Amino acid sequence: MVPNPCCACFTKGSIVFGPRSSLNASLYTDVEATNADTFTTNDIHHAIVWPIGALVVVVAAIFLATILRVMYVHRRNRMKEHTAVLTSECRVPDTVFLAASTEEDEGVKRRIRHLCHILANHGFTPVYYEYVVNDQSADSPLSLGVNRWVELQFRTCEYVLFVCTKRFMEEWSGERKDILSPLVYPCRHLLDGSLTRPQNIGRFAVLFMCEDHCVPPGLLRLKRFTITRPKCEHLHSDELMNYIIKKPLLADISNFFKHYC
C-alpha cells in the first residue's frame, strides 16, 4: 500500500518534513524567531562596536598628534636657546675687542695701547692681541689657535672695533703679499656672518688712528670714529666712549633702518 503523498510525513534528523501540521508550524516559528534574534544581535554589534572602534582610533590619532606637537615645540625652543647662546647670551658685558693688524707700525700700536688704557679707565675690559699673544691660559691664542680665538672674541665681546689703516685694508682685500697678520682674514670671514643679523651691527665700529682713512668694502656700513688728529698724539675718544657707553636702543634702531631702508 503506497502512502498518500499529501498525508505523508518524512523525518530527517529532528526536523519533520511534510504537510504543515501544528508541529511543523511550531518548528518554523522557532526557526524564524531564532533568525530574528540573530539579526538583532548583529545590528547591535554594528551599532555599538564600530563607533567605539572609530572613537578609539580618533582619540589615538589626537594623542599622537599632541605628542608630535609637543616634541616639535620643545625642539624649536631648544634651537632658539642654542641660537641665543651663540649670539648674545654668552657675551661678556663691557668687553671690547680691538681688531687690528699685528704688522702695524709702532705708532699705530702705541695709540691702540693708549686706547686700551682709556677703555679700562671707563670700566671696560679691552681685548688686544698684543696683550695675550704669550698667554698660556685655556682661552688664549696659543691654546685655541688664532682663528678660534678671534671667533671667540666675536662671540663673547660686547663690542668689536676695527682699527682701519692702509695696511689693514690691503690685507683685508688681499693686495698685501708680504708678511700678513693672522687676525685680518678670520675677522673678514666672521664679519660676513655677523652682519646678516641687523641687530648686531651696532656691536661693530671702525676706528681711524692715522691720516689714511681707509675702509674695506665690508665695513662701509659700520659707524666710524676718528680718534686722532694731525700732528697730535692725544686721542680724541669722547665720541667713541659716548657711543659704547650710552648706545644700545637708539643706535640699534638707527642701524636697523640704515640696513633695510
Question: Tens digit of pLDDT for each residue in 73-102?
Answer: 877 776 655 444 444 446 677 899 999 998
Q: How far apart are CA 223 and CA 205, in angstroms?
A: 5
Compute and round to an integer the Cα radius of gyration of the chain. Answer: 43
CATH code for the part of the protein at 92-255:
3.40.50.2300
Q: Where are the domains of the chain?
A: 43-90, 92-255
Parallel, antiparallel or unpaired: strands 125-128 and 157-164: unpaired
Please spell the DSSP secondary structure of 215-230, one letter per residue. Answer: --GGGTTSEEEE--BT
Question: Tens digit of pLDDT for each residue in 212-231?
Answer: 788 888 788 888 998 887 77
Highest mean pLDDT among 10-24, 80-94, 127-141: 127-141
Mean pLDDT of 107-123: 91
Q: Where does residue 18 fall: left (phi above 0), alpha (psi -120 to 50 degrees), or beta otherwise?
A: left
Share of the chain above pLDDT 70, in %: 67
pLDDT of residue 127: 94
pLDDT of residue 200: 67
pLDDT of residue 89: 44
